[in-house]
Chains A and B, each alone.
Chain A
Amino acid sequence: MKSLINRFSRWGSRNLLHHDSLGGYFEPVIQLFKPNWRAGLYRAQVSDVSLLLEGVVAINLRVDDRWPIHQAGQHIDLTLEIAGKLVTRVFTVASSPNLAKTKNTIRLVVKIQPEGGLTHQLPVLTRGDWVNISAPRGEFVFEESKQSSLFLAAGSGITPFIAILSSLQKERAIAQPIHLIYYAKPEQHLLVDELNELSQQLPRFTFELMSRAVHGDVYEQLSDYINAKLLVCGPNKFYQSAKEFAKIYDCAISAEHFSLMGITESTTSEFEVSLNGKQLSLKNTSPLLNQLLTLGEHVNYGCKIGICHQCQCTKKSGVVKDIRTGQVSDRSEELIQLCVSQVLTDLELET
């Protein structure tokens, strides 16, 4: 019955109201009563904001009952309205599913990026502010087994491990030993108090804090763990070292790695551009549209000077520059006009 009503309402909103959903059609009206309500997203309310270290902020969000509780290790999209513009970034939930279940609360621990469009807004949030979050997703979860586990974290990559370890707390004693090696700059390790507490509560969990300056590359720390299962979360370079080790010693490895793609503007470069899933190699020397047309790709276009928006497409990820104004885009999903966009990083496009 419910699915029948849903189908009917979707049919009605598409054909009669020209919106994908009834919620989408009434969204600005609903927002009068429920601030930040958005079709297809969940609302969450800021309950606490604190600085963990200089440049690292922890935010507690109150989620509503409809939010599908995350599995420890999963991430969410966080969307903020900044000067009228919706900006979205992905963050790992740094708290246990149990906290979400019992107290409707999730925590995010975020490193503020110097050039970030969203992260520098986070310390400005205050209790009671509304934000939007997506349903949780991601495959980076921990499965118990007989095999011992090695967790490798770097920087803010500690967050999924905090979620994973605190989710083990309330459950039966874990079968396998877990060791965590946590890399960060000296004195910059996050949530060390919580790690201490966890190591007291979980008898088979141990951890070490390390830093590159003192201990060298993470690769050098791994020789004792040839038979362990590796879970890695950190910057790309950190992950590469672990991956190399896992390859040589044939260890199981599961990873979540992040890299801010470097912007290349000054030199002539080629970038990987995915257009509706098709991989192309495009240069930063002429607008995207010209190159796509030369390659014989079927894309809509019109004026070619940025007036008519016919060549508009969705940039799912990556950075472009508007060649008319020199304005550099955000990293997350946006509409761009191909005829006036210069590619600055690898891109994912959908027409």
Chain B
Amino acid sequence: MSKVNQPNYALLGEQLDQLKAETMAKVGQEDADHIRKMIVIHRVFEWSGRILLMLGFINPFLWLVGVLSLALAKILDNMEIGHNVMHGQYDWMNDKQINSKAYEWDIACDGGSWNRVHNYEHHTFTNIIGKDRDFGYGLLRLSNDFRWRIKNLWQFATYILLSVMFQWGIAYHELAAERVFFGKKNDTRKSQISAKQLKRKFFSKGAKQLVKDYLLFPLLAGPFFLWVFAGNFLANLIRNLWTSTIIFCGHFTGDVKTFSEQECENETRGQWYYRQALGSSNLKGGNLFHILTGHLSFQIEHHLFPDMPAKRYREVAPKVQLIFAQHSIHYNTGSFIRQYSSVLKRIFRYSFP
């Protein structure tokens, strides 16, 4: 295959558009059945988990199974169901419950806020420094695009803390960008929502989640209040660590590229695809692993086709890889261990000037 330095953007755009059209034409009953099945599995694990947590007094082992079951449910809701439904991947179904307008996930972050920051800013301006706040979340220095500061010395600890509190980090993300509580407002940022509305949504969604997991369900358990309280805490923690880890593997591995605003002005469709390709990285794994990551193990395909039902990324991936090879675009994939250690190295490397 001939080696070219710059891909033929027009051809790349055409090939990927064509691949999308071909795949979307196949989307139908199978995809509707898949998402409903995921919801059924979620409901079963959530309610078994919540019941088992209360039965910990019979045998602590039941409590442990309860924690894992609830954690699994929360991961499914967050990733394979919430993330994907809220991306509009199932809007074509016309289902009153399963669509991006109606769906609200079971985490501290208000769905509307996530839609704005993630669906719009992150997916449109992926890895453009200054426009995609997901690159380092305003907390971590992950490339030389950012000036080194003293606080970067301990950014590894910041990263661990962010992972532990991940749902709250995501919930606070837009408020940080809008400087709702601290800092000077960024004049170039245009918001369609007021600081007051942002605060109200942040507190109301956060409070609902706290009351549910740390007051209501523990109270229902009566004398076993603390068992349920601790179980819910652990389930949330497991989900936070899992989602944070998977998401970091999708954008912050060693080879992932960043872009400047100037580079991306008047970008064509092909150039947009190219940026998505270089700004994302995949994880190899089995089907169960893919489901638990919400198919974000196919981060590249997700960034090329954010509103394609995610399970379809499995069949699209080899074709994307072929197209990339034809244009000599690096297809960034690897095992979880390899990709994650590359992320950790990156966080560590940019702790220093």
- Measured as residues with beta carbon below 8 angstroms from the partner, the interface class of chain B is 35 or more
Instruction: Report Cα–Cα, A256/B97, bound state, in Å.
Output: 32
- B102-133 residues with Cβ-Cβ distance < 8 A to A are 102-106, 115-116, 119-121, 123-124
Interface contact B119-A335, CB-CB below 8 Å: no
Q: Is B7 positioned at the interface, with any CB of A under 8 Å from its CB?
A: no
Contacts of A19 in B (CB 8 A): 97, 104
Contacts of B32 in A (CB 8 A): 81, 84-85
- B30-44 residues with Cβ-Cβ distance < 8 A to A are 30-33, 36-37, 39-40, 43-44
* Given A307-B123, A334-B94: A314 and B208 interface contact (C-beta under 8 Å): no
- A304-330 residues with Cβ-Cβ distance < 8 A to B are 305, 307-310, 312, 314, 325
Interface contact B101-A335, CB-CB below 8 Å: yes
Contacts of B40 in A (CB 8 A): 28-29, 32
* Given A18-B104, A325-B21: A335 and B124 interface contact (C-beta under 8 Å): no
Instruction: Report Cα–Cα, A19/B95, bound state, in Å.
Output: 13
* Given A39-B96, A84-B29, A302-B124: A312 and B91 interface contact (C-beta under 8 Å): yes
Q: Is A24 positioned at the interface, with any CB of B under 8 Å from its CB?
A: yes
Instruction: Report Cα–Cα, A86/B24, bound state, in Å.
Output: 17
* Given A300-B192, A302-B124: A335 and B96 interface contact (C-beta under 8 Å): no
Q: Is A124 positioned at the interface, with any CB of B under 8 Å from its CB?
A: no
Instruction: Report Cα–Cα, A81/B124, bound state, in Å.
Output: 33
Q: Is A1 positioned at the interface, with any CB of B under 8 Å from its CB?
A: no
Instruction: Report Cα–Cα, A333/B92, bound state, in Å.
Output: 11
Contacts of B36 in A (CB 8 A): 28, 31
Instruction: Report Cα–Cα, A20/B39, bound state, in Å.
Output: 16
Contacts of B44 in A (CB 8 A): 29
Contacts of A24 in B (CB 8 A): 96-97
Contacts of A300 in B (CB 8 A): 192
Q: Is B88 positioned at the interface, with any CB of A under 8 Å from its CB?
A: yes
Q: Is A26 positioned at the interface, with any CB of B under 8 Å from its CB?
A: yes
Smallest distance from the beta carbon of B284 to chain A beta carbons, Å?
26
Of the candidates A18, A20, A314, A334, the one having the most CB atoms from chain B within 10 angstroms of its own CB is A18
Q: Which residue of B lies closest to A301 (CB)?
A: B192
Q: Is B10 positioned at the interface, with any CB of A under 8 Å from its CB?
A: no
Instruction: Report Cα–Cα, A312/B116, bound state, in Å.
Output: 12
Interface contact A310-B28, CB-CB below 8 Å: no
Contacts of B39 in A (CB 8 A): 27-29
Q: Which residue of A lies closest to B106 (CB)?
A: A18
- A28-48 residues with Cβ-Cβ distance < 8 A to B are 28-29, 31-32, 38-40
Contacts of B139 in A (CB 8 A): none
Interface contact A303-B124, CB-CB below 8 Å: yes
Smallest distance from the beta carbon of B30 to chain A beta carbons, Å?
7
Contacts of B208 in A (CB 8 A): 15-16
Interface contact A307-B306, CB-CB below 8 Å: yes
Interface contact B88-A309, CB-CB below 8 Å: yes
* Given A16-B216, A303-B120, A308-B123: A83 and B29 interface contact (C-beta under 8 Å): yes
Smallest distance from the beta carbon of A293 to chain B beta carbons, Å?
12
Instruction: Report Cα–Cα, A24/B39, bound state, in Å.
Output: 11
Instruction: Report Cα–Cα, A24/B216, bound state, in Å.
Output: 22
Interface contact B124-A28, CB-CB below 8 Å: no
Instruction: Report Cα–Cα, A301/B88, bound state, in Å.
Output: 15
Q: Is B212 positioned at the interface, with any CB of A under 8 Å from its CB?
A: yes
Smallest distance from the beta carbon of A159 to chain B beta carbons, Å?
25
Contact of B93 among A16, A26, A85, A305 (CB under 8 A): A85
Contacts of B93 in A (CB 8 A): 84-86
Q: Is B87 positioned at the interface, with any CB of A under 8 Å from its CB?
A: yes
Instruction: Report Cα–Cα, A283/B44, bound state, in Å.
Output: 49
Contacts of A305 in B (CB 8 A): 124
Instruction: Report Cα–Cα, A302/B102, bound state, in Å.
Output: 18
Instruction: Report Cα–Cα, A302/B87, bound state, in Å.
Output: 13
- A82-124 residues with Cβ-Cβ distance < 8 A to B are 83-88
Contact of B212 among A16, A85, A309 (CB under 8 A): A16
Interface contact A309-B100, CB-CB below 8 Å: yes
Instruction: Report Cα–Cα, A302/B96, bound state, in Å.
Output: 23
Instruction: Report Cα–Cα, A29/B103, bound state, in Å.
Output: 17
Smallest distance from the beta carbon of B256 to chain A beta carbons, Å?
19
Interface contact A83-B28, CB-CB below 8 Å: yes
Instruction: Report Cα–Cα, A156/B87, bound state, in Å.
Output: 41
Contacts of A87 in B (CB 8 A): 94
Instruction: Report Cα–Cα, A305/B272, bound state, in Å.
Output: 11
Q: Is B99 positioned at the interface, with any CB of A under 8 Å from its CB?
A: yes
Instruction: Report Cα–Cα, A310/B118, bound state, in Å.
Output: 11
Instruction: Report Cα–Cα, A84/B123, bound state, in Å.
Output: 27
Interface contact A38-B306, CB-CB below 8 Å: no
Q: Which residue of A lies closest to B34 (CB)?
A: A84
Q: Which 7 A-B pairs have the closest CB atoms?
A: A84-B32, A302-B120, A18-B104, A83-B28, A308-B120, A303-B124, A28-B36
Additional 10 contacts, C-beta under 8 A, given A28-B36, A29-B44, A309-B307? A18-B105, A25-B97, A27-B97, A84-B33, A85-B92, A87-B94, A303-B123, A308-B120, A308-B124, A335-B100
Pick 27 A–B contacts, CB within 8 A, sort by A.
A16-B208, A18-B105, A18-B106, A19-B97, A20-B102, A24-B96, A25-B43, A27-B97, A29-B39, A83-B28, A84-B30, A84-B32, A85-B32, A85-B93, A86-B93, A88-B94, A301-B192, A303-B120, A305-B124, A307-B120, A307-B306, A308-B115, A309-B307, A310-B115, A312-B91, A314-B101, A335-B101
Give A contacts to B, CB under 8 Å: 15-16, 18-20, 24-29, 31-32, 38-40, 81, 83-88, 300-303, 305, 307-310, 312, 314, 325, 333-335, 337
